[in-house]
Chains A and B, each alone.
Chain A
Amino acid sequence: MLGQKLLPWDYGVRNLFRRPSRSALTLGGLTIVVLLVLVVVGFIRGLEKSLAATGNPNVVLVYALSSAADVENSSIAGRTPALLSASVDGVRRQHGVEYVSPELYLGTRITTANMPEPGMGLVRGVTTTAPLVRGQVQLAEGTWPQSGEVMVGRLAYSKLGADEQDLAIGQQITFDGQTWTISGRFTAAGSAFESEIWAPLTELQTVLKRQDLSLVAVAMDSPDRVADVDMFCRERVDLELKAVSESAYYASLQTHYKPVRMLGWVVVALVAGSGIFAGLNTMYGAVVGRTRELATLQALGFRRRAILLTLVQEATLLACAGALIACIIGLTFVDGAAVRFTMGAFMLTVDSVGISVACGVAALLGVVGALPPAIKAMQLPVVEAIKSI
């Protein structure tokens, strides 16, 4: 290929402007394809990131053995936190506070001021130790909830299907027959907590007429201490508890959502595949109409490979322009867009992986879309092609 005489670069570029409306349509189609790819990859990456950011290997979750890893179904005795801190060594302790967070966790219907229909939200009843154990959680604005108050994760509105304004500080929301005032808004480094609503534990228990807990989250001094908690739960069979490190818990959720992610990649492949067909179609049109011209180039002495390369270059140029536009749109509008999902809400993420995949798909569209028509056009003998109109 090197050392071979190529057609001027200009030739390919100018050919794109030969039929501007067709090139523009193709560009539009390619842009949409690449944008779709970007959205789907953004979805997959956002989901992965949200789950990965949630798991902390130092933290162990203790919940009911019978709940089959579904914390919403878990019910454990209210005395479990005290029992754990008394029986297990290696629980983290600082400034006289033990890092043990009793929590009540449930999905429930929540109404905001402006929502016609209640939406499904995730509520966690917490004490002041919760943010110590869940270190990612940071109060972004407002204050920690007092009696009759809740604080909301920054994506809670999306999980509810509400407006962001509905969950602004000072707004009121209703669930389980009680109206709560929003006192603060928190972030959690992209983790799943961001789609939750946190309420004071005792008050939530009163409202729900429950005395039990869903789980206890305990921060240990080191990840290997997690095994001690597990040992304790196994030995005290009577308590019917199960201990799992938070990172293992969310890793299992990752596997749980594996089919979803696989489906995402299938969609990427399908979208790219259909894009290739669209590209093929356009290139067939562009090449067939130029049979005689391509034969002339051969008659002048240009080798077939050089002409092939020019045609691929034309298509790839267009595909790259499409990728560029799609990435700009993607970074501006797609990146950070909140998505509702069963497990909570997360943000579409246009990162280096998404951009690489999108650009790869674009390059593929250019090359794979252009090669077959170009090869077909080259197969006609020059003497015949030169007579075509």
Chain B
Amino acid sequence: MSLVEVINVTKEYANGEESIRPLDEVSLSVEEGDFVSLMGASGSGKSTLLNLIAGIDLVTSGEIVVADTDITQLSRGKLADWRARHIGYIFQTHNLIPVLTAYENVELPLLLLPMSGAERRKRVEIAMAAVDLTSRASHYPRQMSGGQEQRVGIARAIVSNPTLVVADEPTGSLDDETTEQILQLLERVNNELGMTLLMVTHDADAGQRARRKIRLERGRLMENGKELHTAKIRTA
């Protein structure tokens, strides 16, 4: 089985009389260590799919199995615990906690995991070094540039060594030069740290940096011009 199995997932929003269905029975498998980009027009449902896989949104129907756990079956509390263990989330606008320093922001996800203070310190230092921000450890978000903030966001996403790192438009609010820095950093996260990466973007250039490029069109997932089918059908 693949690391991530999205099986016949539908997401529907009921808006009074009419309903929107950004995901219509979509299926997707992601192998461990892969770097997948998810592209598509604005409003096509990219974030919706990413959030479902990251366990912060709930499917209307279908299954999502990550590392052998069907997360659609977990209670809200269990899902929160699962996220802490398995998901590193990189937001478009970093979403750092303003009252915490860069170091403390990176440390935050580790507080949810059982580990010694020394182990925690070691991991934060490694993550800070990986994004080349060791010298900014004691700075607060407001004292950093947008690119630096996003790098802290990446350090926070990788610090717990998650099963899957997801990024929703990680370069969406950055200039070209910073975008390039961040993309290189994400490539290193995938190459050097071996982390599985799922990146949503509407920027075609950014999308091309991934190993697998998937498009979301009218509720369906396309790869190389062909629609993706359920894992079950594929293996049959």
Give, as a whole number of angstroms, the nearest-CB distance from B158 to chain A: 13
Give chain A interface residues in 1-17, CB to chain B under 8 Å: 5, 7-8, 10-11, 14-15, 17
Given contacts A381-B57, A383-B56, A386-B91, whether A299 and B99 have CB atoms under 8 Å apart is: no
Bound complex: CA A107 to CA B106 (Å) = 76
Given contacts A293-B97, A383-B51, whether A302 and B112 have CB atoms under 8 Å apart is: yes
| A364 in contact (CB, < 8 A) | no
Chief secondary structure at chain A's binding surface: helix
Specify which of B48, B76, B100, B112 lies most central, judged by the most chain A CB atoms within 10 Å of its CB. Answer: B112
Name A14's contact: one of B47, B87, B100, B111 (CB within 8 Å): B100
Bound complex: CA A303 to CA B83 (Å) = 10
Give chain B interface residues in 140-179, CB to chain A under 8 Å: 156
Give chain A interface residues in 280-302, CB to chain B under 8 Å: 292-293, 296-302
Complex interface: chain A residues within 8 A of B47 (CB): 383
Give chain B interface residues in 86-116, CB to chain A under 8 Å: 87, 89, 91, 95, 97-100, 104, 108-109, 111-112
| A137 in contact (CB, < 8 A) | no
Bound complex: CA A386 to CA B166 (Å) = 15
Complex interface: chain A residues within 8 A of B82 (CB): 301
Bound complex: CA A276 to CA B60 (Å) = 41
| A95 in contact (CB, < 8 A) | no
| A382 in contact (CB, < 8 A) | yes
CB pair A8–B111 under 8 Å, yes or no, is: yes
| A18 in contact (CB, < 8 A) | yes
Bitwise interface map of B from 53 to 93 toward A, beta carbon under 8 Å scored 1, else 0 = 01011000000000000000000110011111101010100
Q: Which residue of A lies closest to B157 (CB)?
A: A300
Give, as a whole number of angstroms, the nearest-CB distance from B181 to chain A: 23
Q: Which residue of B lies closest to A12 (CB)?
A: B99
Complex interface: chain B residues within 8 A of A297 (CB): 97, 108
Give chain A interface residues in 256-313, CB to chain B under 8 Å: 292-293, 296-304
Bound complex: CA A296 to CA B54 (Å) = 13
CB pair A299–B83 under 8 Å, yes or no, is: yes
Complex interface: chain B residues within 8 A of A293 (CB): 95, 97-98
Q: Which residue of B lies closest to A18 (CB)?
A: B99
Complex interface: chain B residues within 8 A of A302 (CB): 80, 84, 112
Complex interface: chain A residues within 8 A of B91 (CB): 296, 386
Specify which of A18, A298, A301, A381 lies most central, judged by the most chain B CB atoms within 10 Å of its CB. Answer: A301
Given contacts A298-B80, A300-B89, whether A383 and B97 have CB atoms under 8 Å apart is: no
CB pair A300–B51 under 8 Å, yes or no, is: no
Bound complex: CA A370 to CA B97 (Å) = 20
Bound complex: CA A15 to CA B100 (Å) = 9
CB pair B112–A300 under 8 Å, yes or no, is: yes
Complex interface: chain B residues within 8 A of A292 (CB): 95
Complex interface: chain A residues within 8 A of B87 (CB): 301
Name A301's contact: one of B81, B95, B99, B100 (CB within 8 Å): B81
Q: Which residue of A lies closest to B50 (CB)?
A: A383
CB pair A301–B85 under 8 Å, yes or no, is: yes
Bound complex: CA A18 to CA B98 (Å) = 9
Bound complex: CA A296 to CA B95 (Å) = 7
Bound complex: CA A5 to CA B112 (Å) = 6
Give, as a whole number of angstroms, the nearest-CB distance from A3 to chain B: 10
Complex interface: chain A residues within 8 A of B85 (CB): 301
CB pair A382–B99 under 8 Å, yes or no, is: no
Give chain A interface residues in 324-378, CB to chain B under 8 Å: none
CB pair A301–B57 under 8 Å, yes or no, is: no
Bound complex: CA A5 to CA B99 (Å) = 19
CB pair B109–A300 under 8 Å, yes or no, is: yes
Give, as a whole number of angstroms, the nearest-CB distance from B132 to chain A: 23
Q: Which residue of B lies closest to A15 (CB)?
A: B99
Bound complex: CA A383 to CA B79 (Å) = 14
Name A5's contact: one of B48, B98, B111 (CB within 8 Å): B111
CB pair B97–A299 under 8 Å, yes or no, is: no
Give, as a whole number of angstroms, the nearest-CB distance from A6 to chain B: 8
Q: Which residue of A lies closest to B58 (CB)?
A: A381
CB pair A301–B80 under 8 Å, yes or no, is: yes
Give chain B interface residues in 23-64, CB to chain A under 8 Å: 47-48, 51, 54, 56-57
Complex interface: chain A residues within 8 A of B112 (CB): 5, 300-302
Complex interface: chain B residues within 8 A of A296 (CB): 91, 95, 97
Bound complex: CA A47 to CA B228 (Å) = 83
Complex interface: chain A residues within 8 A of B84 (CB): 5, 300-302
Complex interface: chain A residues within 8 A of B95 (CB): 292-293, 296, 299, 386
Bound complex: CA A334 to CA B229 (Å) = 78
CB pair B89–A299 under 8 Å, yes or no, is: yes
CB pair A303–B98 under 8 Å, yes or no, is: no
Bound complex: CA A259 to CA B95 (Å) = 57
Complex interface: chain B residues within 8 A of A303 (CB): 77, 80-81
Considering the complex of A and B, which 5 residue pairs feature the smallest CB-CB distances, nearest first? A301-B84, A14-B99, A296-B95, A301-B83, A383-B57
Q: Knowing that A17-B99, A303-B81 are A-B contacts, what are 14 other residue pairs whose CB atoms are under 8 Å apart, sorted by A's residue number? A: A5-B112, A293-B98, A299-B56, A300-B108, A300-B109, A300-B156, A301-B83, A301-B84, A301-B112, A302-B80, A302-B84, A303-B80, A382-B57, A383-B51
What are 20 A-B interface contacts by the 8 Å CB criterion?
A8-B104, A11-B97, A18-B99, A293-B98, A296-B95, A297-B108, A298-B56, A299-B56, A300-B84, A301-B80, A301-B109, A302-B80, A303-B77, A303-B80, A382-B56, A382-B57, A383-B47, A383-B48, A383-B51, A386-B91
